[in-house]
Structure 1
Amino acid sequence: MGEDRKATVGRRAFLRKLAIGTAGAGVTLATPLVESAQADSETNDEKRKARYKETDHVKAFYRVNRYPV
């Protein structure tokens, strides 16, 4: 009875505690990440403006991939 016993944790108990701790941390970290939705700040003119520009590298892509002109 004079032996010093080291407190050991079994593999299953360790993994169980690890899973519970990870789940608890995930819940507390995920909650503040939710933000309210915001509306677009573009006006109607900005929404209708032309955004696609056929630049030289786009023309080269079409030419190399044999897209019809």
Structure 2
Amino acid sequence: MKSARKATLKRRDFLLALGAGAAATAAAPLATKAVADTESYDEKRKARYRVTDDVKAFYRVNRYPAA
């Protein structure tokens, strides 16, 4: 009976360490600092989508209506 109890305690210790490690891993991203946005208002508002040859080929191959 003692050997069964020792195995149970080792398993409990392992699960406890596993749970503590998971909690520490989940908390790690929360410890980073937030960085301010570097784009100005005009840069945020500018058009970013461009119809290039690659985009036209994508539409043609996938049969989307041409833009």
TM norm. shorter chain > 0.5? yes
* 1:47 and 2:39 matched: no
Which protein, 1 or 2, shows the higher relative CO under an 8 Å CA cutoff with sep ≥ 6? 2
Identity %: 44
Moved over 6 A (4+): none
Task: Select the residue among 1, 7, 11 that pairs with 1:15.
Answer: 11
Give the equivalent residue in structure 2 for 1:3. Answer: none
Q: Aligned-pair distance for 1:31? A: 4.0
Q: Aligned-pair distance for 1:52? A: 1.1
Q: Which runs of 5+ in 1 are unaligned?
A: 1-6
Q: Which runs of 5+ in 2 are unaligned?
A: none
TM-score of the pair, normalised by structure 1: 0.61
Count of matched residue pairs: 62
**RMSD value, Cα:** 2.5
